[in-house]
Every structure is written in C-alpha cells, then in structure tokens.
Amino acid sequence: MSDLITIARPYAKAAFEFANEKQLAGDNNAIAHFESMLLFASEVAKNDDIAKMLTGSLSSEESANLFIKICGDTLCDSGKNLIKVMAENRRLLALPEVFTEFERLKKESEGLIDIEVISTSELNSSQQESIKNAMEKRLSCKVKLHSKIDASLIGGLVIRAGDLVIDSSIRGRLNRLTDVLQS
C-alpha cells in the first residue's frame, strides 16, 4: 500500500497543479471537475475485472484505450492524457491512491487537514477539542478529527496527520523500549 502511495503522489500533484492553474485562469470548476474525474476513474480501477485486465497481457496502449472507453465522457482531454501516461508506466492500479492524494492536496490548499486519532476508548468532546486545538496550533491550519478505537494500544493515543505520526500509546512505548534493550 505504501508503494502505491509513493507511486500516486507525483500523478496527484501534477493533476492538482494542472487543475489549480486552470482554476486560477478562470475555470472556477476545474478542481471539482478533476476531483470527480479521478473519483470515477479510481472506482473503475478498483473493479476486480478491470484490475485483472490491467495486470494481464494488455499493452499499455490497449490498457489506456480500454480504460478511456469505460470512463467515456467522464474524462476530459486532460483526464485522458493522465490515463495514457499512467498506462504507459503501468500505474493505472494506483488511481485510487491518486484520488486520495488529490483530495489531500485539495484540503491542504484550503487550509484543512484530516487527522486520525486512535485511542483505546471513545474520546469525549472536551478531549477531542483539546487535541484539535493543539494540532491546529502545531500545524497552523484547520483540522478535522477522525476517531478510531484500537484496544491493542493498551493506553494512550496515536495521532496521524499525513506523514506526521505522534505515538504516545503504551504499546508504542513498549516497542521503543524493546528496540533500545535489543540494540
């Protein structure tokens, strides 16, 4: 999965920068249009039958043509070019991650970051607000919290904001202690 994210980042960045330039040039719907194109293309790429065809013996040109034909009028010329480039590099299966990364870039440009907070039990509203305020101050942007529960943490929290991970869980501390003792 992390390999697909690494593969997806440059495509998402190029797509977002292209859409953002078009939007700045007066096409007020460019980012939203690209977002909907990528969403549709990512859903197509997630289809098991399509994934089998893409990993099969089709040439890159055949893969691109098939994908473009399936997507139909959903893709504009720029979207078709993106599909062709990704097909040439055998990267069409990374489209769901391209969409996810595009979404992240869009939110980042709007000054919003999604943060995942993992705890052993449900956080109350004051705890969530405290975490939200601390992360907004640290990251200098608006934060949207997503809470998850994982009893295997034993205690504490894990906070994920993009590539930033703050692990104050007991499990994390025990793992770090084990690493130190073994070295």
**pLDDT (0 to 100) of residue 139:** 87
Q: Residue 91 to residues 3, 21, 53: CA-CA distances in angstroms?
A: 11, 24, 13
In the structure encoding, which two tokens stand for residue 43, read together? 């859903």
Structure confidence by residue, pLDDT tens digits, 149-172? 998 888 889 999 878 899 988 888
Structure confidence by residue, pLDDT tens digits, 58-76? 888 998 999 999 998 999 9
**pLDDT (0 to 100) of residue 56:** 79
DSSP code of residue 94: G
* Mean confidence (pLDDT) of the chain: 90
Give yes or no for a contact between 151 and 179, defined as CB atoms under 8 angstroms apart: no
**pLDDT (0 to 100) of residue 118:** 93
The residue ranking higher by pLDDT, 3 or 177, is 177
Confidence of residue 103 (pLDDT cuts 50, 70, 90): very high
Strand order in the sheet with 112-119: 142-149, 112-119, 157-161, 164-167
Confidence of residue 2 (pLDDT cuts 50, 70, 90): low
Structure confidence by residue, pLDDT tens digits, 24-49? 888 889 999 999 999 999 999 999 98
Specify the pTM. Answer: 0.72
Topology adopted by domain 2-107: Peroxidase; domain 1 (1.10.520)
Q: Which amino acid does the sequence have at 124?
A: N
Give yes or no for residue 7 having a pLDDT over 60. Answer: yes
Give yes or no for a contact between 116 and 146, defined as CB atoms under 8 angstroms apart: yes
Give yes or no for a contact between 169 and 153, defined as CB atoms under 8 angstroms apart: yes
Q: Residue 105 to residues 15, 65, 100, 178: CA-CA distances in angstroms?
A: 10, 28, 9, 37
**pLDDT (0 to 100) of residue 122:** 92
